[in-house]
């Protein structure tokens, strides 16, 4: 009887933690909506140029994942709850020096160094939060039942995105009001104060979470370089390479959509906010659908469909500068598909890695993503700073009026190459079966991609991915299921 009572108690604690995690996600969404979403506009407001914007995005993309390399080692010595608590406390407090930069700019003190200092402080902020990410990932993997992950995380993500939408929208109108009065830097400080307060509130919610604890088996650890060495020989390794490559291609353009709207097109903060928010709003309606598809047919199908949309998105920015067009057309594609990609990516890690390796595998995934973001953002920044519109117009005969449109075009081409060369090499890890019509269509697409890969002289050999099943290849211990 005691055993059953204990089991019920643990089950109740897990359910309570799942509920608390949704509230915690809502709290951190205020920080994202009122803080993270306005870092690039803030950088522009304190004098950052295009190259500095590229460096800002590149460093936060790399510093965060690099800190995660230490996450699993910390789990050997300290409880997961304790690590997460102190990591996000540091993250919350880093908003204070970030806010101080606005005051220094207003007082005309060290203005030439402020963009550089913002890169440092914001990278530390992101790094502290990133340190907690794989540990939280491992923690929630022990809380949420495997059969309900797609449903639960799609619901949590919808709540997170809804609160992000509300906070971003309020922040955009708030900033425009302060900008009209000539106090935009004060407006940023108020927003970042709210971001800090709600991050501190999330710490309180974490303190109430149940942590079942984890005992890491001897020999569980394998280095990042061991992982890279054998990455092409196992399904998860190929998946990580694909994700890192697609983030490289995306990051060529990602930091510069905001610069393009605010600097080139002269949009207000309200219009900037609305356009950035539009795909988030649309994803609220698609996440439930992708969660069900993920649970029923596996994550690879969702990743496959979403990735095919990736090259199209930056191309949609080439056709019009109309506010209404940019509010409706590009966000439809991003909102309907890319939320599914993010959801399926996380679930794919859960399905691929054993319990004791989850945090390590997520950290290595994030490192490759970070390297991709770093390299892509630097490349985009260099093109934005030193690229010649006249040269590209003569070379490609397109007649674009600014360098940002070429950045979007190059990003689209890079995304296309990544999808063609790497996507077909990923297998599903769950024992799932697709409807016959989808199986045939996927085979046609895979054969096309494989043919394109062969045509391009790729060093990768085509592997038949029509056979859905678990992969046994694993040269880095018994890491993956």
Is 70 exceeded by the pLDDT of residue 8? Answer: no
Task: List pLDDT tens digits, range 31-47.
Answer: 999 999 999 999 999 99
Supply the mean pLDDT for the chain.
83
| 75: CB partners within 8 A, 6+ apart | 83, 135, 138, 214, 216, 359
Q: How confident is the model at residue 235 (pLDDT cuts 50, 70, 90)?
A: confident
What confidence score (pLDDT) does residue 447 get?
56
Q: How confident is the model at residue 428 (pLDDT cuts 50, 70, 90)?
A: confident
- Weakest mean pLDDT among 124-133, 282-291, 364-373, 398-407: 282-291
- Weakest mean pLDDT among 116-125, 227-236, 265-274: 227-236
What confidence score (pLDDT) does residue 474 get?
40
What top-level class would CATH report for the domain 2-210+224-455?
Answer: mainly alpha
The residue with greater pLDDT, 290 or 406, is 406
User: Closest Cα to residue 20, out of 206, 219, 248?
Assistant: 206
Cβ pair 253, 314 in contact under 8 A: yes
What confidence score (pLDDT) does residue 13 get?
87
What confidence score (pLDDT) does residue 465 get?
30
Is 60 exceeded by the pLDDT of residue 112? Answer: yes
What confidence score (pLDDT) does residue 80 get?
86
The percentage of residues in the chain with a pLDDT greater than 90, rounded to a whole number, is 42
What confidence score (pLDDT) does residue 438 get?
54
- Weakest mean pLDDT among 59-63, 168-172, 414-418: 59-63
- Weakest mean pLDDT among 159-168, 263-272, 363-372, 439-448: 439-448
What confidence score (pLDDT) does residue 478 get?
45
The percentage of residues in the chain with a pLDDT greater than 70, rounded to a whole number, is 85
Q: How many CB atoms lie within 10 A of CB 394?
A: 10
Is 80 exceeded by the pLDDT of residue 354? Answer: no
Tell the burial category of 469 from Cβ atoms under 10 Å away from its Cβ (0-12, 13-18, 19+).
exposed
CA–CA distance, 168 with 362 (Å, rounded to integer)? 28
Is 70 exceeded by the pLDDT of residue 258? Answer: yes
Output the pTM of the full model: 0.74
What confidence score (pLDDT) does residue 219 get?
59
Identify the bridge partners of residue 480 per DSSP, sorted by sequence position: 353
Is 90 exceeded by the pLDDT of residue 221? Answer: no
Question: Per-domain residue ranges for the chain?
Answer: 2-210+224-455
What confidence score (pLDDT) does residue 134 get?
80
Tokens of 227: 């992982």
């Amino acid at each position: 009887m005691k055993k059953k009572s204990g089991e019920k108690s643990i089950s109740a604690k897990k359910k309570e933690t799942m509920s608390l995690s949704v509230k915690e996600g809502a709290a951190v969404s205020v920080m994202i909506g009122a803080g993270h979403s306005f870092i690039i506009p803030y950088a522009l407001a304190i004098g950052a140029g295009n190259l500095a914007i590229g460096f800002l995005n590149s460093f936060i993309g790399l510093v965060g994942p690099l800190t995660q390399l230490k996450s699993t080692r910390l789990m050997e010595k300290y409880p997961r709850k304790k690590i997460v608590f102190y990591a996000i406390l540091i993250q919350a407090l880093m908003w204070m020096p970030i806010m101080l930069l606005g005051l220094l700019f207003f007082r005309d003190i060290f203005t030439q160094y402020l963009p550089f200092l913002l890169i440092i402080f914001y990278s530390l902020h992101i790094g502290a939060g990133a340190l907690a990410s794989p540990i939280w990932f491992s923690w929630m993997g022990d809380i949420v039942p495997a059969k309900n992950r797609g449903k639960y995380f799609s619901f949590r993500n919808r709540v997170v995105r809804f609160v992000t939408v509300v906070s971003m929208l309020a922040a955009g109108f708030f900033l425009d009001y302060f900008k009209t009065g000539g106090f935009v830097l004060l407006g940023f400080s108020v927003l970042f104060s709210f971001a800090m307060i709600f991050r501190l509130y999330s710490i309180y919610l974490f303190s109430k979470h149940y942590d079942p604890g984890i005992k890491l088996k001897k020999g569980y650890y394998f280095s990042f370089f061991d992982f890279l060495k054998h990455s092409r020989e196992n399904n998860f390794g190929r998946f990580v390479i694909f994700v890192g490559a697609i983030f490289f291609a995306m990051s060529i353009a990602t930091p510069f959509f905001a610069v393009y709207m605010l600097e080139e097109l002269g949009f207000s903060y309200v219009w900037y906010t609305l356009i950035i928010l539009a795909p988030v709003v649309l994803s609220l309606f698609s996440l439930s659908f992708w969660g069900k598809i993920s649970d029923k047919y596996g994550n690879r199908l969702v990743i496959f469909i979403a990735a095919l949309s990736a090259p199209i998105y930056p191309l949609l920015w080439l056709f019009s500068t109309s506010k209404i067009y940019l509010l409706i057309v590009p966000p439809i594609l991003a909102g309907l598909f890319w939320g599914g990609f993010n959801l399926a990516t996380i679930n794919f890690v859960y399905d691929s890695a054993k319990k004791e390796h989850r945090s390590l595998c997520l950290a290595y995934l994030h490192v490759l993503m970070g390297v991709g973001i770093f390299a892509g953002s630097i490349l985009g920044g260099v093109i934005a700073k030193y690229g010649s519109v006249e040269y590209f117009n003569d070379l490609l005969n397109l007649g674009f009026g600014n360098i940002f449109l070429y950045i979007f075009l190059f990003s689209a081409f890079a995304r296309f190459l990544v999808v063609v060369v790497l996507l077909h090499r990923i297998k599903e890890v769950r024992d799932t079966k697709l409807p016959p019509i989808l199986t045939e269509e996927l085979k046609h697409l895979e054969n096309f991609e494989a043919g394109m890969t062969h045509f391009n002289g790729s060093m990768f050999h085509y592997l038949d991915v029509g056979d859905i099943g678990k992969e046994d290849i694993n040269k880095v211990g018994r890491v993956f299921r």
